[in-house]
Every structure is written in C-alpha cells, then in structure tokens.
Amino acid sequence: MANTLTGLYPTIYEALDEVSREQIGFIPAVLRSTKAERVAKGQKIVWPVVPPGTPGDITPAASGPTPSDTVVGVPELTISKSRSVTFHLTGEELKGLKSGGTDQVIVKDAFTQAMRALANEVEADLAATAKEGASRAVGTAGTAPFATASDLTDLAEVMKILDDNGAPMSGRSLALNSAAVLNLRAKHAVALGQAGADGVLRSGVLEMIEGVIFRPSAGLKLHTKGTGASYATSGSTAVGVEAVALVTGTGTILAGDVVTFAADTVNKYVVGSGIAAPGTIQLGEPGARVIIPTANALTVGGNYTPNILFTRDALALAVRLPAAPDGGDSAEDVMTIEDPASGLVFEVRLYRQYRQVTYEVGIAWGQVAVKSEHIAILLG
C-alpha cells in the first residue's frame, strides 16, 4: 500500500476507466455552470432566460418607438447535494491482503464502486429533473418505442415537439432507457447500417440519427402516476398559459405525470408541479397549445418509463468539489481525478486513523431544467 494518493493514482485511474463505461447519457450532454465554485451548498445561482419578443405594427411617429417590457425568467440552480462514498481498511486487513497480493485489487474495486455510485446518482438526478421539466410527451405509456422495424416514426414525433416549440436543431440528444435501446438494436440495426449508421450493427454503439445523438442512460426509471381522478378545469385556459386550475377531483397529480384534456386529446402535457387536492397544476412551457375551456375533464396517463429528447441548453448542471475549511481538514492527502467520459471531477481524500486508513470519494452538484420547451418525453 502506497503512503500517499500519488502512489495510488494508477489504481484509481484504472477504476475510473471502468466507471466511464457505464450508461451515462445526460451528464455529457447538458450545460455546465461556471459559477459553481463560488457558491455554498443551498446557495442559489440565477440562470437568466430571455423570453421571445412580441411583434407589433410599425407606426411612424415624431420620436422613436416605445419599447415593450421584457420579463426575464430566472431559473434557480442550487448546489443541493454534497455526497461521498467512504471505505476503510484496518491494519490487520491490510496485512492479510498484502500477504496474498490482493490489496491493490480490493482498493481498485472499492474506488470503482464509489465513483460508479456517485456518477449514477448525478445521472438519476438529471433524468428526474428533465422528466419533470419537460413540455409535452408522445408515445404510449408502458410500451417501448421503436418496436416496428425500419420505422422511426417515434423519433419523428418527439422531434416534432421540439420543432414546434422553436428549439434549435443542433445539440439535440435523446436519452434512452434499456427497453428502447433493445428495440433499436434488435429491429433497426440492419436498416441503420444500410443508411450509413453502422455503429449499432457492428459494435452495438448508438450513433447520431436524423441530427439527434442517441445516448443510453441508466438514470431513466419508471414513473408511477398520481392517484388523481375526476378533475376538471375551473376556468378557461388560454393558449400559452401554463397554470391550469382544477376542481371537483380527488387524489394526487404528480410532477412528471402526463395529462390530457377533453378539449385537446392531441397534446400530452407534462406536469411540472402537481396537487394533492383541487388547486392549480403547472404545465411545462410553452403551456397550453389550444384553448382549454371551463369544466373540461382532465385525464392522467398511465405509468411509464421515459425516453427524453433535449437540447444542450435545456438542462444545466453545476458540479464542484465538496467544500473544505480554509487550511484543509485532517486529511493526510487529497487529489482530484476527472472522468474522461462524463467530465465529472471526483475528489479523493485519505485519512490515517487509529489502526486503519479511510478513503473518501466525493462530489457536489445541483441541476435545473432551464428551458422546458426544449425538452420532450418519448413514453416507454
């Protein structure tokens, strides 16, 4: 066992290479905040979002035009988590492991599991934030997309949501759950190979299709819908309005639930914030696509596992090393190491204690959906 972390660098980096092969789809595809190092846990970072302008008539006058007010949105990004994984080895354990030549193997595997757990937690948080921050959804809840060979209608339909919302064509990624990836590999590999995207057929690696980078993600989990039933609108909701007041019903409508209205069965809206009793739900931007009249019945869709299409500017991630007091703490050695696949930087600390040595792998982060109109769900 080396006396410092520098001596352990090859062992730690070997562990990191194993973690970089995990299915991480969101982390490398989102915006990173450059202000994360300046804030403490719980402190807010303001992320300004300028709304689209409103055209008006040009009217000649003696003076220049009177500008209209611009209300800048301010999504708040917070370092909400400072997390670590620790493990230790006692003197007796080290003595026994060294005698068998397995001490480096044990340390490598421990670092592997630590960085894997932290990276997966960041990925899961981004996936949940993207789901609850999405604008609308397409597809069938409970049915994996891409089930028909050589038919990419599912991709076209979810892209249409972003197109209609005015999202940029560049920087688009589609995070896929394992069932969707299975269908792509099983039913589309040959057709994609004939079209020039032969990575799926030859190596099982998903590529860019129709300008969208396909990114498998282990962070996409089953969404269990709320118990809400018999809700109806208490007033008319205009086009572009996100807040919808509901009455008469019972049960919960949860963030991430997919809902439709009797007056608009075409659009499947994603709930950004829900209710546990009659009240007001918030739809993802850009809100209602048609007028939803008073006393209009709401239906909550089924449970689903999401696949999420988003642009790079739609999600923001702030990552930094966990804070330490000025002058450091009792750690004997500290080093950082970057995951080349995800870009996450982990801090590794070594503490020599009473007849044992303890290692800590840590990272701090927070995330926010900046532009809901640039996020859409493909149900699965």
Query: Is 171 within 8 Å of 321 (Cβ atoms)?
Result: no
Q: Hey, what are 208's tokens?
A: 């860019």
Amino acid found at 39: V
Mean of the per-residue pLDDT values of the chain: 87
| pLDDT confidence band for 2 (50 / 70 / 90) | very low
| Residue 337 to residues 114, 126, 284, Cα–Cα distance (Å) | 13, 22, 37
Is residue 24 within 8 Å of residue 341, measured between CB atoms?
Answer: yes
| DSSP states of 72-113 | -B--EEE--EEEEEEEEEEHHHHHHHHHHT-HHHHHHHHHHH
Closest CA to 289 of 256, 258, 259, 264: 264
| Cβ-contact 200, 285 below 8 angstroms | no
Domain range summary for the chain, segments of one domain joined by +: 5-15+32-48+76-132+315-370, 136-222+307-313, 232-302
Is CATH 2.40.30 what the domain over 232-302 is classified as, yes or no?
A: yes
Pairwise pLDDT comparison (194 vs 126), residue with the higher score: 126
Distance CA 162, CA 42 (A): 32
Across 239-244, average pLDDT: 96
User: What is the percent of the chain where pLDDT is above 70?
Assistant: 83
- DSSP 8-state class, residue 142: T
Higher pLDDT, residue 336 or 287: 287
Q: Whole-model pTM?
A: 0.86
Dihedral pair phi/psi, residue 246, rounded to 5°: -125, 145
Between 45 and 293, residue with greater pLDDT: 293
Residue with tokens 């990836």: 181
CA–CA distance, 201 with 190 (Å, rounded to integer): 6
- In angstroms, the CA 37 to CA 79 distance is 10
Whether the predicted pLDDT of 196 surpasses 60 = no
Top CATH class of 136-222+307-313 equals alpha beta
